[in-house]
Amino acid sequence: MAPHTSKNVVIIGSGIAGLTTAKLLCENGIKATIVEKSSVLGGHTRKWSCKATSQCQVCNRCSLDDVMAALENYGVQYLTESELGSVVRDSAGYLRGVKISTSGSEVAEEIPSDALALCVGFETYDPSEKLLWGYGALDGVMTLADLDFVLDQQRLNDLGNGSEQTKIAFFQCVGSRDKSVGANYCSQYCCKAALRSAVKLKSEKPQWSVAIFYIDLQVSGKYASSLLGRATESGIELAQGVPGEIFLDENKKLAVNIEKNGTNAREQFDKIILSVGQRPSASTAILSQITGVGLNEHGFFESRTIFDPNRTCAQGVYLAGACGAPMDIETTILNASAAASDIISDLSGIHKGA
């Protein structure tokens, strides 16, 4: 819709970060090429479910549909099943293009590019790494992503045991804030996701009992009070301390040991949902080599300075979303918009930049 310049920006990754970056660039008259390694667009967000009861819980899942609808107005080029092969720089070192390799084709295609945005997102922690969680071994232990699939498929009854007394627990910080699994950071999205999912479960199945075991609830900010309020109103049990082990008791039911008032108590659950943390995407290492963007101690891309979170040390290369630090959808949209903003400033040359 907006008049196009000759500028083109190549975006690696078609999750909410990549699409948001593309949207704001296009609205500002800059062309975008989106490179996606899988065959479908939308990244993690596409697989998540809407958490609204009839009241929106601001999970931002629908942002994906909105941004994709907005992009239909622009001639964005999508290259699926494709990956970044190399970057092309001129003699002065400025980014001039990228080479993209598409599966099934032997020759890498060169695309002129004035900026490159890395939007490769994250991977969820694989909880089967830690045997005590029982993921993959015990029936009924699932992840937040598995729960989203059930919610999306409208198959909530699958979670119940057929009776009214279904008990469901969320375990927070699975693979986050845990040095022993190499992730000494908070994954930022899981407390809100678990709380919203729990509220959704309680609204659909008020007679079920839902508990959230946590270390610290990371829900500060403008929506914190209302979210915590809804959780307590709907009767969700919030319990500090995450049990370390899930096992089958003598009745073949999922059980955990919980310390209550200094004594151990055993509690049974029908389903236990592990709130798995965010890990750097597997492609960050190779992309780091190709682009020259460094990785920080946690394996996420390193920004130029802490005050410049979307620019990198490599000229013309930008970061957006969870490949720079773990974040939820809302923060990703903000972060990716800021990345697009930096690119616009730098390409228009008004603002000094990379």
Partner 1 sequence: MESSSNLTQLTSFLEKIPSALVLGKGLTASIAVIELKGKGFEVIQLEFGQAPGDELYCCLPGFDFEEYKLSVMQSVGQSEVYHSESIPMIDRDGAGFKVDIASIRDRRFDVLFFAGGLANRPCSNLDLAPLELFGPETKYSGESEDVALLMDYPEPSDSAAAMSAIVYALENAKNGGRSAVILDNVPVRHLQGESLYDSAKSAGVKFYRLGQSNPKIQDSFPSEGGNRKIWITLQDRIEQGSDIQIVCDRLFLVTGPDQKGIPYQINHFLGADLDPSGFLISESIHSNTFKSFSAGVYAIGNFTGNSDLFQIMSQAKAAAASARAYALFTNTKSRENILSISEECVRCLTCYRICPHMAIWPSVSPSRSQLNSIGTACFECGICVSECPRTAIDLTHFPQMAFSSFIEDVKNQPDRIVVYGCSRSAGRAASHISLPPDVVFFSVPCAGRVSESVILETLSIGVKGLLVIGCHHGNCASNNGTDWACDRVETVVTNFLLPMDMQGKLQYKTMAPNEILKMEKIIRQFVNELETDPQTSKYSSS
Number of residues that bind partner 1 (CB under 8 A): 86
Report 59-98 residues binding partner 1 (CB under 8 A): 60-67, 69-70
Interaction between residue 203 and partner 1 (CB under 8 A):
no
> Which window, 73-81, 159-167, 280-288, 338-346, contacts partner 1 (CB under 8 A)?
338-346
**Residues written for the chain:** 354
Q: How far is the CB of 183 from partner 1 (least distance, A)?
A: 9
Considering beta carbons, is residue 5 or 128 the nearer one to partner 1?
5
Q: How far is the CB of 300 from partner 1 (least distance, A)?
A: 7
Interaction between residue 350 and partner 1 (CB under 8 A):
yes
Interaction between residue 333 and partner 1 (CB under 8 A):
yes
Cα 89 to its chain centre, rounded Å, is 31
Considering beta carbons, is residue 267 or 330 the nearer one to partner 1?
330
Considering beta carbons, is residue 145 or 248 the nearer one to partner 1?
145
> What is the three-class DSSP state of 278?
strand
Interaction between residue 58 and partner 1 (CB under 8 A):
yes
CA R_g for the chain: 22
Report 18-47 residues binding partner 1 (CB under 8 A): 20, 23-24, 27-30, 46
> Which window, 104-112, 198-206, 245-253, 341-349, contacts partner 1 (CB under 8 A)?
341-349
Q: Which two tokens stand for residue 123?
A: 């991977």
Report 285-324 residues binding partner 1 (CB under 8 A): 296, 298, 300, 306-307, 309-310
Interaction between residue 264 and partner 1 (CB under 8 A):
no
Interaction between residue 349 and partner 1 (CB under 8 A):
yes
Q: How far apart are CA 271 and CA 159, in angstroms?
A: 7
Report 207-246 residues binding partner 1 (CB under 8 A): 215-226, 228, 240-241
Token pair 């375990």 in the structure block, residue = 171
Interaction between residue 279 and partner 1 (CB under 8 A):
no
Q: How far is the CB of 135 from partner 1 (least distance, A)?
A: 23
Among 39, 91, 163, 262, binds partner 1 (CB under 8 A): 262
Q: Mind giving me the DSSP string for 179-221?
A: GGGTB-S--SSHHHHHHHHHHHHHHH-TTSEEEEEESS----S
Q: Give the long-range contacts of residues 307-315, CB within 8 A, separation 24 or more.
A: 308/342, 309/335, 309/338, 310/335, 310/338, 310/339, 310/342, 311/342, 311/353, 311/354, 312/118, 312/354, 314/354, 315/89, 315/93, 315/94, 315/95, 315/354
Q: How far is the CB of 270 from partner 1 (least distance, A)?
A: 23
Q: Are strands 167-174 and 209-214 parallel, antiparallel or unpaired?
A: parallel
Instruction: Classify each residue of 8-42 as buried b or exposed e, where b means 16 or more C-beta atoms within 10 Å of its C-beta.
Output: bbbbbbbbbbbbbbbbbbbbbebbbbbbbbeeebb
Interaction between residue 108 and partner 1 (CB under 8 A):
no
